[in-house]
Every structure is written in C-alpha cells, then in structure tokens.
Amino acid sequence: MDLFVNALEASTTVDSTATVDPAKEQGAQRVAQQVADDLMSPYCPGRSISSCSSGAARILETEILQEARGGKTRDEIEQMLVARFGEDRVGSSYSAGVVAVALTVSLVAVAVVIRAAQKWQRRTNRSAKPTGAELDRGPSQNEIDRLEDALDDFDEF
C-alpha cells in the first residue's frame, strides 16, 4: 500500500519553479486523454483506462500525462504501454473487427438509401404528366401507320 501511495505522490508532485507553456501543456493533456480513452485498461478488463475506476488506472493516467509532457508522441506512449502490459491487455479499445462491421453496415445502409432514391425517382418520372409541347406535337408517322393497319384489320372483319 505504501508503494501505491508513494507512486501517487511522486506522480502528482509539481515543480513550482518550472514555467509551463500553456499550449504545450494543453497538447500534452490532449494526447494523454486520447491515449487514456483509446487504450484498454490493464486493471479493468473491457474498459478504457479513462473509464476504469481503479486507483491504479488514475496513476497510469498521470504517468501517461508525464510522458506526454516529456515530449513523447501518442504512438510512443502507446508502444511503451503495450511493451509494459502486453497487446492483449491494453490493445486499442476499437478492435479491427468492430470497425470492419461498422464500416460494412454503413456501406450497406448507403447502398440501400441510394437504391431507394433511384426507385423513387423512376416512379416520379413515370407518373410525370406530359408538357404542353409534348401534347401539341401530335402522333408520329409510325403511330399513324400502326393505327391505319389496325383499322384496316378491323374493317376486313
């Protein structure tokens, strides 16, 4: 327990003489938050580091923030955590399978919407009433010939 308390105190100690660049601090906090949100907690199976209620997860968040303040990139921090805890314990909370399923469902939904829009457009085009110009032009020569043939067949009866 003393080791836990000492680690917590050491990780939260701030040097009061150091000047902090607000932009750099904000960037470090953003990187730390992204890492904590995206990686699984080694202490709470099935939960991200940031959603884990364990005190050890809070210490881990502080360590992540310290690494980000030290200038490490998100990838470097993630690699450090994977090396420390293993891929199976802290792998990304967004598994490739979930992303693939979500992408597939999205593409199918888009295809269904496009198909429905095409059917609706065809239906509206068929039911559109002819314009005045189409009505004024009269029958084509082909239509007149077919009508005369039909009338001739009728008269022969």
Long-range pairs, 94-98, Cβ under 8 A, ≥24? 94/38
Q: Which of these ranges, 18-22, 54-58, 84-88, has the smallest mean pLDDT?
A: 18-22
Q: How far apart are CA 24 and CA 31, in angstroms?
A: 11
| Residue 117 to residue 111: CA distance in whole angstroms | 10
Residue 24 confidence (pLDDT) above 80: yes
Q: Give the per-residue pLDDT at 133.
A: 58
Q: How many angstroms separate the CA atoms of 77 and 64, rounded?
A: 7
- CA 54 to centroid of chain Cα atoms: 28
The pair of three-digit structure tokens given for residue 131, joined into one six-digit string: 């314009």
HSE of 14 in the Cβ direction (CA atoms, 13 Å)? 7
Q: What is the tens place of the pLDDT at every residue in 90-136?
A: 765 555 566 778 889 999 999 999 999 988 888 777 666 666 555 56
Q: Is the entire prediction scored with pTM above 0.85? A: no
Residues 140 and 88: their CA atoms lie apart, in Å, by 75
> What does the pLDDT read at residue 6?
43
pLDDT of residue 1: 36
Contacts with 72 (C-beta within 8 Å, 6 or more apart), sequence order = 80
CB 96 within 8 A of CB 48: no
Residues 63/80, Cβ–Cβ less than 8 Å: no
